[in-house]
Amino acid sequence: MPRTLVTGGAGFLGSHLCEYLLRKDHEVVCMDNLITGSKDNIADIKSDKFQFVEHNVSEFINVKGALDYVLHFASPASPMDYLDFPIQTLKVGALGTHNALGLAKTKGAVFFLASSAEVYGDPLIHPQPEKYWGNVNPIGPRGVYDEAKRFAEAITMAYHRTHRLDTKISRIFNTYGPRMRINDGRAIPNFLRQALTGKDVTIYGEGSQTRSFCYISDLIEGIYRLLVSDQNAPVNLGSPDEMTVKEMADKILQATNSASRIAHTAAVEDDPKIRQPDITRAKKYLNWEPVVGLDKGLRATLKYFKEQLRT
């Protein structure tokens, strides 16, 4: 039975990943300092093969016993979060990744880095392939997250080349689904919360900026396929179905049958104008592409948000 550490395991992505790994007969150690994660996300996990450890991975990581895999998902991921916690975001991308890599090296484990489409910044190439180096403002307010992930990728590849560590890097594009926080700050949670509570649905700028939204179960499947693959270079994981933020807002108003109106607010500094993954590598090497349609995914997410707002 493989034994696996998931940092950030009580977060949105991490908690779904922990459940998936348990279904794949892994013993799972979930580590989180709960700065943006929540024990509620893992409360329903009832397994003697699951262990939760509250710890900040920007400090030295000590896990007793063998480990076969170290999956590093710890980091604030919403713009609202990394603007509130800029230093912590930089530290977990740098110190946290270094600590997790060191642990993987010591244990002889496969290392998996949850990177982000934000490494591309405000891209000048569309769609974005893995060979694109990005267009990032290193000193802008979003730079704390963008550069944290870029550094994390650089040190991961350094460990791969220098120490022959088996490493995987996923560049994750916009993902949604149950367990996103009501106040997450990203487009779908914001729009759902506002539409369900009768408030104006707020769009930054004109809403012409594009995003590609992948449902959580599709993403987790892609992560696992990359984990057990022989791919060491970065791989994009996300939906290639691109739409404007305004189109998503309209879709959520329709899905919720809400009387809320769309209201435009000031554009956000360095907000990417376009965002769409080229998933050619994922198709070729992982035999992976999303299968859950937006309507089905939104129904499941809407149900979850309704339940959360009732509690």
Q: Which residues are catalytic?
A: 145
Dihedrals phi, psi of 213, to nearest 5 degrees: -110, 125
The residues with which 235 forms a beta bridge, in sequence order, are 170
293/284 Cα distance (integer angstroms): 21
94 contacts: CB under 8 Å, gap ≥ 6: 148, 151, 152, 155
Please name the helix (run of DSSP H) or strand (run of DSSP E) that holds residue 264, with its range, or none. strand 262-265
Express the helix, strand and coil content of the chain in percent, nearest 5 each: 40, 20, 40
Please name the helix (run of DSSP H) or strand (run of DSSP E) that holds residue 153, with its range, or none. helix 143-163
- Closest by CA position to 71, among listed 89, 91, 57, 82: 57
61/156 Cα distance (integer angstroms): 17
- 309: how many CB neighbours lie within 10 A of its CB? 12
- 151: how many CB neighbours lie within 10 A of its CB? 16
Cα-Cα end-to-end distance for the chain: 38
155 contacts: CB under 8 Å, gap ≥ 6: 94, 97, 98, 101
∠ CA 256-262-268, rounded to 5°: 115
Helix (H, G, I), strand (E, B) or coil at 69: strand
User: Residue type for 197, please?
Assistant: T
